[in-house]
Amino acid sequence: MDMDTNNLILFISKFILDRLNDDEQPQPATPSNSPQTQACYNSLNNPSTLQLFQAKSIPSISIQNYLIRILRYCPSTNEVFISLIIYFDRMKLLSSLFTINNYNIHRLIIAGITVSSKFFSDIFYTNSRYAKVGGLPLSELNQLELHFLLLNDFNLVIHQSELDSYTQKLLAVSID
């Protein structure tokens, strides 16, 4: 995809802000018909797992500035950033208990970037670097990474058509 990553971050942050606390069901480009693993089912239906992502207070850094910080200190491809939205939608589809709000979005973002970078890129950073950039202790990021994988049922594969569909959604947000 040939889009400037800084513009992409602007579009993603606007897209996320528009959907915070939104009860509207996400519409995936390709529906997930694969059965959930028992571990995924347990995680999605365990409120304490979902609480792991909740911060005690809303971080003072905006979503856009948080994404810019991540890009600055842990550069990644556009696919890594777009995959965040796809993974968030998949989690919402798998569980009605899963919500994205101002208290959990930053932790979801850094966990998602950590997971997605490892999946999509040949070059990625250590968890200690992601933790430092994300403002979390390493042990906490390690837990969030595992639970992010569980909440996605370890289904990280994103087909090109799905990436293209979400890119179009982001471009539509940029026009609004």
In the chain the domains, ranked by start, together with CATH numbers, are 5-15+36-170 (1.10.472.10)
- CB pairs under 8 A, 24+ apart, for 24-29? 25/92, 25/93, 26/88, 26/89, 26/92, 26/93, 28/86, 28/89, 28/90, 28/93, 28/162, 29/161, 29/162, 29/164, 29/165, 29/166
Q: What's residue 50's pLDDT?
A: 74
Note the pLDDT tens digit of each residue in 125-160. Answer: 999 999 999 999 999 999 999 999 988 989 999 999
Check: CB of residue 44 under 8 Å from CB of residue 149: no
173 pLDDT band, cuts 50/70/90, is: confident
